[in-house]
Structure 1
Amino acid sequence: MAKQISELKLGILGGGQLGRMLIQEAINYNLSVSALDPDPDAPCKHITHKFECGSITDFDTVYNFGKKADIITIEIEKVNIEALEQLEKEGKIVFPQSRVIRLIQDKGVQKQFFKENDIPTAPFQLVNSQDDILNANFTYPFILKQRKDGYDGKGVMKINSIAEVENAFDAPSLIEELIDFDKEIAVIVARNSNGDMKTFPMVEMEFNAEANLVEFLISPSTYPDDIQQRAEQIACNIAQALNITGILAVEMFVTRDGEILVNELAPRPHNSGHQTIEGNYVSQFEQHLRAIFNLPLGDTRSVSNAVMINLLGEKGHEGLAKYSGLEKIMAIDGVYVHLYGKKYTKPFRKMGHVTVVDQNRDYAIEKARFVQQTLKVITP
C-alpha cells in the first residue's frame, strides 16, 4: 500500500471481545480504528477511536459505516453481505472478502465447498424441513445443524431417534454423521494479499458439554508430528482454495483411527487462538492485522506451553457481573487474566478468558484446572 499503516482507517463490524482484543493490538501500530455494534455498552466502546451503535445486519448502516474506513474487517460473520459487496465494488478493501464471509455464513454451502475441494469432512446431507429429516437416508443418532445463524453452540442438536425429529429445527439445516472422535483440534492460518501463509501450532480443545462451546484449550498439541502436520496442511489448503486474506480458524476432529475431519471454519480471530497473546511470539490478533494490511506475517512459534480457560457466566446467575476467586488465581505465577468489559453476565456468556503459561506442560494444566475450579462469574 502507498500509505503507511498508521495513516489508514480500520473499520470493524462487531464490537465484542474479539474486536476489543484486535483494537488492543491495533493501538501498538497507532491505527485509527472505528467499530460498529448494536450494543450501546459493547466491549469495544471505550477503547476505540470512534464507536457507532447500530445494526451490523442492516444494509444502510453497514454501508455508511464502511464508507468512512479504508479497510473493513469483521469479528463476527453475521453481517450484511450485500453492503460489503457494494463497498467492494466502490473500491473499499474488505478482508476477509465478502465472498468468503457469504460462503461461511451458510454451513451447507461451507460443507459443499469442502466436498468440491477434497477437504476431509464428515458425511452430510442438506435438508429444509422436519419432513426432509424423516425421509433422510441417515443412521441415528446424528448431528443436526442449522445452516445459518448458529454460533457458540447454538443451532446444533443431536438427534438420537426418529421420535426426536418433532423437536428438530424445521428450517434449512444439514444432517451430519456423528463422529466417534478422540479429540477436537484447531489450526489457525493467516494469509496476506501476497499469498504468504503461516499456521499457528495445532491446539487441543475441550468443550462444555451443556453449552457446546470451548471451555479449555491446550497449546501446543502433543499429538504425533504427522497428525499435526496434516492438520496444518489442511488449514493451508482451505485458505488457498478460499483465496482468503486475513485469519482463518479451522476446527477439526481427530478420529479414533487418526483420521482428520474438518468441522467448521471461522474467517476471523477465534476462541481457539486466545492463548497466542501470551503463548506465541505473535498473537492471532496482531497476525490478522499483518495479514489484512499485507505486511510480513509474524513468527507463530510457541514461546511456552499455554492453556486457555474460557470464563463463562455461571448457571443461575443473570445480572451485574461479579468475579469470585480473582485474587486467588492471580497469586499463581504465569496466570494472565483477560476480562471483556461486559457489565452483565448470564449463564454460559463469554465474560473473559485466562491463559496459563509454564515451561512444564503438566504444571500449566494443573494450574489451569485450579483456575477453572476457582474463578467464577456470578452476580452480587
Structure 2
Amino acid sequence: MDLFSSDFKLGILGGGQLGKMLLYNTRKFDIYTCVLDPSNEAPSKIACNEFFQGDLMDYDTVVAFGRRVNTLTIEIENVNVNALEILEKEGVQVYPSSKTLRTIQNKAKQKLFYVDHNIPTAAFSRFAYTSEIKEALNNGGLELPFVWKSAQFGYDGNGVKVVRHVEDLKGLPNVECIAERMIPFKNELAVIVARNVNGEVKTFPVVEMEFHPEANQVEYVICPARIDAAVAKKAQAVALQVSEAFNHVGLLAVEMFQTQDDNILVNEVAPRPHNSGHQTIEASYTSQFEQHLRAILNLPLGQTASKVGGIMVNLVGAEGHTGQVVYENINAIMKMDGVTPHIYGKKETRPFRKMGHVTIVNEDINAARQIAEHVKNTIKVISK
C-alpha cells in the first residue's frame, strides 16, 4: 500500500508530547494520522489529521479506534492490550505487538523475561502486594536498601521509591510490585534500538543520563556518553540482545546501569520513542521519531550516527507552581548558539510535570554540558 499522500491511515494511541514530535515527521512525509487521547487538550491534537477523545484503557474505545486505521502504534504503554490482540487478529498492523507490550507493561513480568532470556539485570523479589514486603524483611528474605517499583502504571518517576528504612514503606500503594536490589552504579546509560518489519536493525549511540535526585526524572541526556569505548560496545551488545529477545518492531529504548566494575545491567525498557532520544532531533542524521516511523512502516532505516554532540535538558514544572504556564527567561536561552527549545503545548504546569525540553548541540560535549547547566539554571517553568 502507498503510504505517502494516500488513503493509508496511521493510528497513534496517546496524544502527548511524544505523539506530537512523531507527528512532525508524519507531516513531513504527508502520512495521514489519527490520534486517540483521553484529554481534549492533548498536545498532538493540533498536528494530526483526525483526533479522537477517549480512554486508552477502555477495550471498546481502542478497538473502535483501531478499526479506523491500517497501522497502529503507541506513544505510551498504558493501553488496553486485549484490544490490540483482537485488532491484530482482524488484520490491523500493531507495533509494538500486543505480546511485546503485555510483557513490558508489567515490571515484574519484564524482569522475569530478562531472567528467562539470560539478560543481565539487578536481583529482585516479586510481591503480589506491597504489604508482603515487611514479612520478607522480618524473615530475612529481603534486605534493605532496595528500590520499590509498582508493577504497573508507573511513569516519569511515579511508582518508584528508594526504600532505605522500613518507615519508607509508609504511604506506598498496596499493589503488585517488585523490590529490586540497589545497584552502586557509575552511570545510567541508554541505547535505542530500531527494528523494522523486515528485521533490519540499527542502534543509536549510547547516551548517558543524569537524574534529578528527588523526582527520579531525567534532567540531562548526554550523547555521546562520556564512557570508555569498551563499555559503550558492551552496552550496545546488551541492547541488541534485549531487542532480539523481544523481536519488537519500532523503537526499543533500553535503560541500563554501568556498574562499578563496568558490567552492564538492564534496568527497564520502553517500546516507543523515549526521553533518552530527544537530542536526536537536532544532533542526529535521523531523529528517533523519524526512525520509529520508518520501522513500523517497514521503510529502510535511517542513519543513526550523530552529526554533532548533543545534550537534552528536560523542562519540568517548578516546585511551588501550579496553573497556567509561563516559560521565564526563554528569550535568554534562545540567544545562545546551538540551543533549541521544544515546548510541548501543555497549558497547565505543576511541580515536575514535563513541559518541554531544550537541546544543546556542540562539537565539544563538555562545552555542551556547561551550556546545558546554564540553560537549566536560566529558564524556569512557572505559573502566572
TM-score class, shorter: over 0.9
> Could you tell me how far 1:132 is from its partner in structure 2?
2.3
What is the CA–CA distance in structure 2 between the aligned matches of 1:4 and 1:268, rounded to whole Å?
20
CA displacement 1:125-150 (0-9 Å, x = unmatched): 10122442123212101111110111
Conservation of the 8 A alpha-carbon contact between 1:276 and 1:284? yes
Q: 2:325 & 2:166 partners in 1: Cα distance?
A: 41
Query: How far apart are the structure 2 equivalents of 1:285 and 1:140?
Result: 40
In structure 2, the residue matched to 1:191 is: 195
For residues 68 and 215 of structure 1, do their structure 2 counterparts lie closer, same or farther at Cα, with a shift above 3 Å needed? Answer: same
CA RMSD across the alignment = 1.1
Which of residues 369, 372, 375 is equivalent to 2:379?
Answer: 375
Distance in 2 separating the partners of 1:122 and 1:160: 17
Matching residue of 1:24? 24
Unaligned runs of 5+ in 2: none
- The 2-side partners of 1:273 and 1:263 are apart by 17
Candidates 322, 330, 335, aligned match of 2:339: 335
1:367 deviates by 1.1
One-letter amino acid matched to 1:74: I
- Counterparts in 2 of 1:141-160, with a 5 A limit? 141-160=145-164
In the alignment, the residues of structure 2 paired with residue 38 and residue 255 of structure 1 have an alpha-carbon distance, to the nearest angstrom, of 40
Amino acid at match of 1:288: H
Letter of the aligned partner of 1:274 in structure 2? H
1:278 equivalenced with 2:282 (yes/no): yes
Deviation at 1:112, TM superposition (A): 0.3
Secondary structure in structure 1 of the residue aligned to 2:104: helix
- The Cα shift of 1:166 comes to 4.4
TM-score normalized by structure 2?
A: 0.97
Contact 2:130–2:177 (8 Å) recurs in 1: no
Greater shift in the superposed pair: 114-123 or 158-167: 158-167
Residue 238 (str. 1) matches residue 237 (str. 2): no
Report the count of equivalent residues.
379
Q: How does 1:181-220 map to 2 (within 5 A)?
A: 181-220=185-224
1:325 to 324, 329, 339: 329
What amino acid is the match of 2:154? G
1:279-324 deviation line (CA, Å, top 9, x unaligned):
1100000000000011111000011110100000000110000010
Q: Which amino acid aligns with 2:18?
A: L
Aligned partners of 1:268 and 1:4: how far apart in 2?
20
Q: What's the counterpart of residue 64 of structure 1?
A: 64
Deviations 1:190-237 (A, max 9, x none): 001111110000000011111111111110112111111111111111
Q: Tell me the SS of whatever aligns to 1:354.
A: strand
Task: Describe the SS at the equivalent of 1:362.
Answer: helix
Tell me the percent identity: 48
Note the C-alpha offset of 1:107. Answer: 0.2
CA shift digits 1:11-62 (9 cap, x unpaired): 0000000000000111111100110001110001111111111111111111
Q: Are 2:144 and 2:164, in contact at CA under 8 Å, matched by a contact in 1?
A: yes
Does 2:263 correspond to 1:264?
A: no
* Aligned partner letter, 1:114: Y
Q: Distance in 2 between matches of 1:322 and 1:162?
A: 40
- Secondary structure class of the residue paired with 2:46: coil
Consecutive aligned runs of 4 or more in structure 1 exceeding 6 Å deviation: none
- Hey, what does 1:73 align to over in structure 2? 73
TM (norm. structure 1) is 0.98
Write the letter of the residue equivalent to 1:159: V
